[in-house]
Structure 1
Amino acid sequence: MSQRRRFLHIGLGALAVAGIAATGASCVAKTPNNVSCGDEVRPAIDCSSEIAPGDIGVLNLDSDSAAFEDVAIRRITAETEKYVAAHTRLCRDYNACAIDKAKYDEEKKALLQLLSPMGSMVAAVKGASSEGERRAALDTLYQHAVPEAERKEEVTLSLSMEAELPASAGGGVRVVRPDEPLPTNTRVYFKVEVKPRAYVYIFQNNTSSGLSVLFPDERIGTKNPLEGGNASRIPSGDLRFRLNDKDIGFEDVYIAASRTPLPNLDEALARVRDGKVTRIKDDKLLDGMKHLPVEGAVAKKDSKCRDVGLERCPRVRGLELDLGGGSSPQPGFKPASFVARTEPGDGLILKVFSFEHTSEGVAYEKAAKNYAKLPAPKTRGVVILERTRTRGVVILE
């Protein structure tokens, strides 16, 4: 378990959530007292043991929790209180003859379907053994408890890097997977899909050729924001990027996505496009992204983590969703290099996608064979990238 964050016992809030289903299920006759509803005589249901909304504190986290995580927890708590209050009102309406038994049973069943799983979901957050596992567990709870309309900043991003291999590598088009090798003279383009509408930023840093802004770029047609639910090709039309032979090694493409514009990043990339910034170390924000700390690393006094304008102490952000072995992504998305969703309460996806740039011929063949032997990455609730590498270059053809 990460030493950066300590867990408090869930306490009364957890007991309340875990006991909701049992409370609802035990709504039985309080006494032999009956309720007369016209010609119908029904046993009175005991509503006095219902949990008061103020008793529900779904999670008690330490004070060093991220601000967006606090937002998520408040929303989970508020929605849980609503469900419990609705359950109490339902019980009282039944006793007041406002609804019949069939209606009571139907609505009670719907509420219990929401409330019953929450105890185990909370326990999964508490019992997580790593930061990645914990974020995934909190995401499961958040997605279950909080309606989509209340997840106001949530964004899902599907990015597919599609490569047209040169004849020397057998030709053909493929969706590039993380860390997959690609030879010089490969042509590539991105297919990006967001839900809902969002602003997307893509740039690359290379040790010899410097910074390259891949998107937004007025020359390629597609513009921000990208409309939700539609795949956008970057660059548009028949344009493609080409891997030249100036750098060999791992290439890193930086991706950010948000429902709202990111002015600081927009300004930084504009300086790159205008030629005012050519090296990543000359821009505080971009250099901070280059030094994204390894996931799960313990923060140290000599850490390069700093306030770069997007957040204090940047880290890779967003939950990567299960691609089902690489060919069957999340419902509604076509095969992709990765699919990510903002973490609970967060409004920013910040990722680094890497691939290996090799020379043509024997070097590529060897790298491809080695890559084929690697196990498929497990991406549910974790981040694939574990290092930052900045060699190679992609140029607009």
Structure 2
Amino acid sequence: MAVRYRYVFKTGIMEDKTIPAKLIYRKIKGKLSAVEEERFDAWLKEGWEHREYYERMQRIYQEENMQEVAVGKIQDAWEMFEKRVQGRWRVERKRRWMWGMSVAASVVIVLCLIMYYQVNTRKDMNIAVQNIVPGQYNAILEMADGSTYHLGEQQGSLQEKTGRLIKIDSTLVSYLPVSNKQEIPQEIVYNKLSVPRGGEYRIELEDGTKVWMNSESCLRYPVAFFNDMREVYLEGEAYFEVQRDVDRPFIVHSGEQKVTVLGTSFGISCYASEVNDYTTLVSGKVKVDFERRKQSFVLEPGMQVVYNKESDVATEKKVDVAEFVAWKNGKYVFKQKRLVDILSTLSRWYDFEVFYRNEDVKEVLFSGELRRFDDFSYLLQLIERTSDVKFVIDKKIVQVMR
């Protein structure tokens, strides 16, 4: 009789690292922008653990005399700083295990785990992860005139060839709304925002619509909307909060689908390398059209359309939306996900390649919740300790085996 394993994991330590380490570093240095200060304050108010963690970092920062660091070496300095913090934190923690097992018609083992471990557990793993770190705010803005700008550190403004200004922050690019008819362009001018592997970024369009863009994604959009429709073009993954305008529908073209909304929140995942495209509605109502197939779906909150590119079949189903849009809030939620799909998702954020020594290991199922900014070695340890899966890492190549 075949035995099928299903593993459940949940993060147990470092629950407070829900913002990039570099943001905390810049806070200690007093170099946050207004937008970053707002984000940091919101994070700090989420729980006493966050304040305790930040204060601990401040103390160690002073102890280690790390005040003078060149801008180009911030990441290296922070990694050294972070290792010291984690080392001191983990020695205070005790290991705790919880696991359970149930038997059905075919044997299904569910192993539930909440881990607290000490720093010396790393000795049990044959991994070297110094080159695999979480992503950060990073994007490339390509103007209609062909000029390009690398975003992620800059603050200030850029000027369009139309004369309009674009506000730039380290996490956000925003287009000011058209205030009078003189500012309305005579033709549609498109810009493109590209987020590379290991990055994320946000954009606020001229109409007030907010877009969170995930790694390996690209959005092509008008500098200003001036006709009776608002249309953008997406490759990859993004989360939209659309500004309501009953006179001008908002349309997202993504792969085979066209998503039409008035004002709502939803997520789209449309990676060329993935078999399935997903449109997931969080609030409001959207219409999803597959024009080539002459098929349409009208989604209610909590519903999703899945398009399989291999079979050319689109289906509608009810889902837990958190599993598909939690990334924008700094989390990953997996429910009965194949290991191959989990590592594919993580590889875009942590920027690594995967090699499977055993093909069958791809089909092992996991469920759980991970923090997007957790240390990569911690995530692998969660999987190793709840399964017979093993990892070997050489620079940015992750080998997976039984």
**When the two structures are superposed, what TM-score results if normalisation uses the length of structure 1?**
0.25
Which protein, 1 or 2, shows the higher relative CO under an 8 Å CA cutoff with sep ≥ 6?
Answer: 1
Structure showing the higher helix proportion among its residues: 1
Larger Rg: 1
